[in-house]
Copies of this chain bind each other. A is one copy, B any other.
Amino acid sequence: MSSLKGTGSPPASPWRASRERLRDREVKREAVIRAAARAFNRKGYHNTSLDDIAAALEVTKPTVYYYVTNKEQLLFECFIAGIEGIRAAVREARSQALPARERLKAVLRHYGEAVASEFGWCMVRAEDQDLSPDMSAHIKAMKSEIDQGIRRLLREGIQDGSIHPCDPKMTAFALAGALNWIAHWYRESQGMSGTEIAETFITVFETGLKPRPGISNEDPTCRPMNRRAKSSSSRPGAPRSARSRERSRR
């Protein structure tokens, strides 16, 4: 699969112009997966029939089966499309020379972005009861990889002094839970992007609820819901490294 992650492309279906057939099987296949993701997102996995997906693409069910073996695989592919970015971010975080808290923040930003994406729902809510044992195992392995990566960053941060001592396991659960839950309430219509939401969450997690005398409450991320421009200067040492790095789309 090549560039499934990008951009809310308009729902135009590649079948439309039957004249200039792209004959690019991969493009169509991705369109099927994206349509499935959108449908799952709206109606849930079990309430979505393959006829629905086909209708959204203005084709019929056998056509969908021409690109995909079964419904389960459709869900699986959506999951992969969503989680791949996070895995990349986790791997990347290990090879950087920054305090662990900064590397963790970069991971969380990508995490939030992925969860708020088109595939966020599938990524977060794919129940392994709906998948065959081997696919379920795949998914569990990937989720575990991410979880362990976050725990490791927490441990490293505790050791290098950039993170307050805490239970890495439980803290990772709390962080991942807060971010995962974005998929339940986020709709693109709202003002904020996934990255912005992640940024706001990160501020909450970093600062904590208990007042910190030293820190001003002028921090723009603490103002209620304006969508400021990206305010790159407010916090010293904020790593734009992760942001500047272009998404690897191949």
- Asked if B206 and A146 make an inter-chain contact with CB atoms under 8 angstroms apart, the answer reads no
- Asked if A210 and B128 make an inter-chain contact with CB atoms under 8 angstroms apart, the answer reads no
Task: Count chain A residues whose beta carbon lies closer than 8 angstroms to a beta carbon of B.
Answer: 80
Task: Give the contact stretch, choosing among A14-22, A25-33, A40-48, A51-59.
Answer: A40-48
- Asked if A177 and B181 make an inter-chain contact with CB atoms under 8 angstroms apart, the answer reads yes
Return the CB mask of A158-178 against B: 1 if under 8 Å, else 0: 000111111111111111111
A229 contacts partner chain B, Cβ-Cβ < 8 Å: no
When all copies of this chain in the complex are counted, the total is 2
Q: Give bound CA distance, A231 to B170, whole Å.
A: 12
- Asked if A167 and B231 make an inter-chain contact with CB atoms under 8 angstroms apart, the answer reads no
Return the CB mask of A171-197 against B: 1 if under 8 Å, else 0: 111111111111011000000000001
A8 contacts partner chain B, Cβ-Cβ < 8 Å: no
Residues of A within 8 A of B (CB): 42-47, 101, 104, 124-125, 127-133, 136, 139-140, 143-144, 146-148, 157, 161-182, 184-185, 197, 200-201, 203-212, 215, 217, 219, 221-225, 231, 235-239, 242, 244-245
